[in-house]
């Protein structure tokens, strides 16, 4: 299956684009998605373990199994100012 992952904040800056498309096997977990992202986008590798993954606008556990029609977003940690 092919998924389009929306990138936010530092993830977007590191990848140099707002979206990344991945070819994933059927019955792929969020953890496997992270692993594939690290392979395809090495610049994101150091950030991936600290990012949240949202699936259909809800934060997802790494064990969640993905489906082809779902919307996926990678959300890095955010820090505030003064």
Copy the structure tokens of residue 62.
Answer: 């790494």
Average pLDDT, the chain: 94
pLDDT (0 to 100) of residue 78 = 79
pTM of the model: 0.89
Measured distance CA(31)–CA(25) in Å, rounded:
13
- Domain limits of the chain? 2-75
Phi then psi for residue 19, to 5 deg, are -135, 150
Among 9, 6, 29, CA closest to 19: 6
Which top CATH class is 2-75?
Answer: alpha beta
61 contact partners, CB below 8 Å, separation of at least 6: 30
**pLDDT (tens digit per residue) in 3-32:** 999 999 999 999 999 999 999 999 899 999
Copy the structure tokens of residue 7.
Answer: 């990138």
Q: Which residue has better confidence, 67 or 82? A: 67
């Amino acid at each position: 299956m092919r998924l389009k992952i929306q990138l936010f904040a530092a993830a977007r800056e590191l990848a140099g684009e707002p979206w990344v498309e991945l070819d994933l096997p059927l019955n792929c977990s969020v953890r496997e998605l992270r692993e594939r992202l690290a392979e395809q986008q090495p610049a994101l590798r150091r950030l991936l373990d600290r990012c949240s993954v949202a699936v259909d606008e809800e934060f997802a556990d790494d064990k969640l199994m993905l489906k082809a029609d779902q919307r996926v977003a990678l959300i890095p940690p955010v820090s505030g100012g003064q």
